[in-house]
């Protein structure tokens, strides 16, 4: 990037001086962004700011997405107007945020985020601690020029600007070249940028997975050694990042990218170990990949997906190990499952939160695995009405497909769901007698074949 830093402007922010880049400006006939690809709301905000006498640009992810063939899911606007100046320009708008104040402008169901150009500060604008006792001086430090705003973004592909004044693309850091070469490149010194905000490692993996891009060598290199810095990131933020990795249509390639950069085992430590287990890794790898594939298909077909199911799968290899241990120690199945579930969840929430509404469902899916095996008498009839039956059944199919358990039970349940009531009775009768009285409760699942 240094070749692009042809202007040397010294600005004093505490103790630092910063060299600011001069943009390559691609005029409207030389780039592929057209106003037709932008939402009405985004255009209204850009024009509103422009008419108010301010600079206004689209920035970041939305431009990256359009240029790589995706439909942006939201549009971010940056401006030299302060939030206090921008807000009154729009009827339905509000100022949000404490440390970094932004304006949200609402148009119907769409919200456009308007932020003021942010400065590079010597004490890292992204660092909570240096910002925590904030106040006015701090706010002065936060606002900056468009050049500074470009340099504090994460990757070159996320740092393009579309100027509503001349419809030109402003490229400060070689963004277009990197998009063309399909490269993810951190702006600035990679190690320093990862230390400032370790989530950038996950974002690198995510964009590589989503766009099918490569990480540029110096962007890739520090990730493995620095991966455990993610443990310093609030668990709630990591949970959000996991959802973006797995529930936005590219879960399968996200799994590959996370494993490639040794990030998977940081996010899911216990399951990560199972994926390195000589005997079982094939099974668990297959389980996770199949779940990822199914998730991607569901999203492509606009069917709902839930973090609970995803997490139930991601933690199952860890749960399986703990459960087996308790069973081997002679603990009965139900308490063993309960104990193992609690332990696995407790370990995981140290890294990524799992909101209660999801962990409750995860436990139900896990508990139902054994119950799916005991189908005698009226049990199958009752089970099929369970609110979590469908998820548990899908989960069972995954376990069969991955080779964790032998196939058969899943097919039985497939038939059961398709049958009428006579067919259902027959299916239960065909299970054979002996157990139909229900006097022996078969709570233990078949011994796993692993």
Supply angle C-alpha 171, 177, 182, rounded to 5: 125
User: Which of the stretches 46-54, 150-158, 162-170, 225-233 binds ligand ATP when contact is defined by CB under 6 A?
Assistant: 150-158
For the sheet containing 110-116, what is the strand order?
24-26, 169-171, 160-163, 56-59, 76-79, 110-116, 102-107, 93-96
Active-site residue flag, 74 = yes
Q: How far is the CB of 154 from Mg ion (least distance, A)?
A: 12
Q: What share of the chain is helix, strand, coil (3-state, %, to 5)?
A: 55, 10, 35
Q: How far apart are CA 388 and CA 364, in angstroms?
A: 7
Q: Are 395 and 369 in contact (CB under 8 A)?
A: yes
Residue 445 touches which of ligand ATP, Mg ion, none (CB < 5 to 8 A by kind)?
A: none
Q: Which is nearer to ligand ATP, 180 or 425 (CB)?
A: 180
In the list 48, 61, 174, 445, the residue contacting Mg ion (rule: CB under 5 A) is 61
Which tokens is 136 given?
């006015």
Q: How far is the CB of 171 from Mg ion (least distance, A)?
A: 19
In the list 148, 154, 178, 241, the residue contacting ligand ATP (rule: CB under 6 A) is 154
In the list 123, 191, 197, 364, the residue contacting ligand ATP (rule: CB under 6 A) is 197
Q: How far apart are CA 88 and CA 282, in angstroms?
A: 59
Active-site residue flag, 55 = no
Q: Which is nearer to Mg ion, 210 or 320 (CB)?
A: 210
Q: How far is the CB of 238 from ligand ATP (least distance, A)?
A: 13
Which tokens is 96 given?
């949000």
Residue with the shortest CB distance to Mg ion: 61
**Residue 429 burial (CB < 10 Å; 0-12/13-18/19+)?**
exposed
For residue 190, state whether it binds ligand ATP (rule: CB under 6 A): no
Q: How far is the CB of 203 from ligand ATP (least distance, A)?
A: 6
Q: Are 174 and 156 in contact (CB under 8 A)?
A: yes
Active-site residue flag, 24 = no
In the list 153, 322, 363, 376, the residue contacting ligand ATP (rule: CB under 6 A) is 153
Catalytic residue among 24, 44, 55, 74: 74
Q: Which is nearer to ligand ATP, 200 or 274 (CB)?
A: 200
For residue 244, state whether it binds ligand ATP (rule: CB under 6 A): yes
**202 Ramachandran zone, left/alpha/beta (phi>0; psi -120 to 50):** alpha
For residue 317, state whether it binds Mg ion (rule: CB under 5 A): no
Cα–Cα distances in angstroms (integers) from residue 366 to residues 229, 298, 323, 388, 402, in the given order:
31, 21, 11, 10, 16
Cα–Cα distances in angstroms (integers) from residue 433 to residues 87, 337, 379, 413, 437, in the given order:
73, 28, 14, 18, 8
Q: Which of residues 344-383 bind ligand ATP (CB under 6 A)?
A: none
Catalytic residue among 154, 171, 178, 296: 154
Catalytic residue among 76, 149, 178, 296: 76
Binding site residues, Mg ion, CB under 5 A: 61
Binding site residues, ligand ATP, CB under 6 A: 60-61, 76, 153-154, 158-159, 197, 199-200, 244
Active site residue ranges: 74, 76, 154
């Amino acid at each position: 990037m240094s070749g692009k830093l042809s202007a040397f402007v010294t600005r004093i922010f505490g103790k630092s001086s910063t060299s600011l880049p001069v943009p390559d400006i691609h005029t409207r006939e030389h780039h592929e962004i057209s106003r037709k690809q932008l939402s009405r709301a985004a255009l209204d905000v850009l024009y509103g700011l422009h008419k108010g006498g301010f600079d206004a640009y689209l920035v970041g992810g939305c431009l990256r997405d359009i240029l790589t063939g995706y439909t942006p899911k939201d549009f971010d606007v940056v401006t030299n107007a302060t939030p206090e100046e921008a807000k009154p320009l729009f009827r339905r708008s509000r100022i949000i945020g404490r440390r970094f104040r932004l304006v949200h402008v609402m148009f119907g169901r769409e919200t456009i985020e308007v932020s003021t150009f942010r400065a590079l500060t010597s004490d890292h604008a992204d660092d909570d601690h240096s910002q925590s006792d904030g106040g006015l001086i701090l706010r002065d430090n936060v606002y900056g020029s468009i050049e500074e705003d470009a340099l504090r973004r994460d990757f070159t592909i996320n740092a393009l600007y579309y100027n509503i004044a001349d419809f030109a693309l402003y490229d400060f850091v070689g963004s277009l070249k990197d998009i063309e070469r399909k490269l993810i490149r951190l702006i600035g010194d990679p190690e320093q940028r990862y230390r400032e905000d370790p989530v950038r490692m996950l974002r690198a993996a995510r964009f590589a997975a989503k766009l099918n891009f490569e990480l540029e060598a110096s962007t890739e290199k520090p990730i493995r050694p620095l991966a455990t810095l993610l443990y310093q990131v609030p668990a709630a933020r990591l949970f959000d990042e996991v959802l973006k990795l797995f529930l936005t249509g590219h879960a399968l390639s996200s799994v590959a990218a996370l494993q490639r950069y040794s990030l998977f085992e940081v996010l899911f430590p216990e399951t990560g170990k199972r994926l390195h287990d000589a005997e079982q890794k094939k099974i668990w790898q297959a389980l996770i990949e199949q779940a990822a594939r199914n998730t991607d298909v569901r999203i492509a077909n606009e069917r709902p997906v839930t973090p609970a199911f995803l997490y139930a799968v991601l933690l199952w290899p860890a749960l399986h190990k703990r459960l087996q241990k308790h069973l081997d120690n002679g603990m009965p199945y139900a308490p063993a499952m309960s104990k193992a579930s609690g332990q696995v969840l407790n370990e995981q929430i140290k890294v990524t939160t799992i909101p209660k509404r999801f962990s409750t469902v995860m436990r139900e899916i896990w508990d139902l695995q054994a119950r799916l095996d005991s189908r005698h008498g009226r049990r199958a009839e009752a089970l099929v009405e369970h609110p979590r039956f469908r998820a548990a059944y899908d989960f069972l199919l995954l376990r069969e497909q991955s080779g964790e358990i032998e196939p058969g039970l899943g097919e039985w349940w497939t038939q059961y769901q398709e049958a009428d009531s006579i067919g259902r009775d027959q299916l239960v009768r065909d299970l054979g007698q002996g157990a139909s009285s229900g006097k022996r409760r078969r709570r233990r699942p078949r011994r796993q074949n692993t």
